Structure 1
Amino acid sequence: MTGELDASGSTHLLDGRIIKIFDNAIDNDQIERIYNALSIASFAFNHSSTDETVDFREWSAELSPIDFVTIDLGRLSMKCATDHAKCLCTCTSVFSSASSYGDNAFVHQDSSHGSSRISVLYYANPHWELEWAGETIFFSGNDARIAISPKPGRIVVFSGDVRHRAGIPSRHCPGVRLVISARFKPNKLM
């Protein structure tokens, strides 16, 4: 870790919801360690974005929320969620997804509309080329409004009820797009 999170990050506003992007919060050694750990994780073809898309499975590896918050990335994710919610948060679920050219992705919400839950994405590839695509797309209604590139070490924080879709890598991408998704539930006001 670099030890400090740039509190400003970059901010996007979508339908009154804040989407915050933090770059350079994780040093290159930590980026490599996280990638190497995910490279040997037990991925299973059992995740679906929504109840309506269960016939279109995605590769994922479940991670323990209790263990996640004890590592640097987990603590940093919790700080991002807590700052976003303006109250203490509890990590309720964590998983990593792996997608490659030809996979499916669907527009979804991580929590119901009006929920106070927070989602944190961490892009886990140590290298990513622009031509490989894989941007996370955020929607206003049925209109794609914000695209966020899967830059190595990037963290994105947003309200779980914001509609979004994981980007699928292009045919030029030689590997998989790895993302860690952590979900947080606000506790009580600080």
Structure 2
Amino acid sequence: MLILNSFLPSPIFSKLSEFLKAEAHWSFSGRSLDDDSESFWFADLSHTFAPAEIQAALNRHGVAVEKIHAVYANGQSRAQSGGFHVDAKVPGIQTCLIYCNDEWKEQWGGATLFITPDSNPCDGCFITPEPNKAVIFDGRLRHKGCAPDSSYTGLRKTVAFKFS
């Protein structure tokens, strides 16, 4: 797992954030690979500026991208928790998860919880959704987006960039 703060250049992060607010076509149709997964807010980004900019940022951070498998935005409203899931069922596919809110306060919750292969269900790794932070991980790693607190009235937004 690799965690990168200030992942995208500031102008590109601002452009992505504004796109997600004003232009993305959100629907409550997202589903994970797990058969029993819950729906989440979803916006396909594969035909936007996002894939090229994310790939360029990964390259700048020394991460090679040979093939892009999917690029989309996830959204969670308050008290909407995701279920544990994997992003890939075969080896070699990684996910770059980018936190896309302009602001995030600790009391809003909304961390991503990863269950590492050598941990029991009570152990794991929490990643806080700070703006423009990216976490890159093996797509087979079980994880979930924890619910934003009921005091948060917006949409917790991430972009998932799946690649090999």
2:145 maps to what in 1?
Answer: 166
**How do residues 24-35 of structure 1 correspond to structure 2 at under 5 angstroms?**
24-35=6-17
| Secondary structure of residue in 2 paired with 1:21 | strand
2:157 maps to what in 1?
Answer: 178
1:23 aligns with 2:2: no
1:98 maps to what in 2?
Answer: 75
- Relative to structure 1, the CA distance from residue 65 to residue 53 in structure 2 (aligned partners, 3 Å threshold; closer, same or farther) is farther
- Relative to structure 1, the CA distance from residue 33 to residue 66 in structure 2 (aligned partners, 3 Å threshold; closer, same or farther) is closer
Return the offset for 1:89. Answer: 2.0
RMSD: 2.1
Identity of matched residues, %: 21
- Relative to structure 1, the CA distance from residue 167 to residue 65 in structure 2 (aligned partners, 3 Å threshold; closer, same or farther) is farther
Return the offset for 1:57. Answer: 1.4
Asked if 2 retains the 8 angstrom alpha-carbon contact of 1:137 and 1:144, the reply is no
TM-score normalised by length of structure 1: 0.75
Asked if 1 retains the 8 angstrom alpha-carbon contact of 2:96 and 2:162, the reply is yes
| Secondary structure of residue in 2 paired with 1:53 | coil
Consecutive unaligned residues in structure 2, runs of 5 or more:
none
What letter matches 2:80 in structure 1? D
Identify which of 60, 82, 85 aligns with 2:42: 60
1:124 maps to what in 2?
Answer: 100
Please identify the structure whose Cα radius of gyration is greater: 1
- Relative to structure 1, the CA distance from residue 79 to residue 163 in structure 2 (aligned partners, 3 Å threshold; closer, same or farther) is farther
| Secondary structure of residue in 2 paired with 1:143 | coil
What's the CA shift string for 1:29-70, capped at 9, x where partnerless?
A: 43322111001211011111234225x311100111685332
What letter matches 1:99 in structure 2? Q
What letter matches 2:12 in structure 1? Q
CA distance in 1, matches of 2:41, 2:156: 11
* 4+ residue runs over 6 A deviation: none
Return the offset for 1:130. Answer: 0.2
Return the offset for 1:73. Answer: 3.0
CA distance in 2, matches of 1:106, 1:152: 22
- Relative to structure 1, the CA distance from residue 64 to residue 145 in structure 2 (aligned partners, 3 Å threshold; closer, same or farther) is same
Which structure has greater strand proportion? 1
Return the offset for 1:79. Answer: 5.5
Consecutive unaligned residues in structure 1, runs of 5 or more:
1-18, 186-190
| Secondary structure of residue in 1 paired with 2:35 | helix
1:148 aligns with 2:127: yes
| Secondary structure of residue in 2 paired with 1:52 | coil
Higher relative contact order, chain-length normalized (CA < 8 Å, sep 6+): 2
CA distance in 1, matches of 2:12, 2:48: 20
- Relative to structure 1, the CA distance from residue 67 to residue 28 in structure 2 (aligned partners, 3 Å threshold; closer, same or farther) is closer
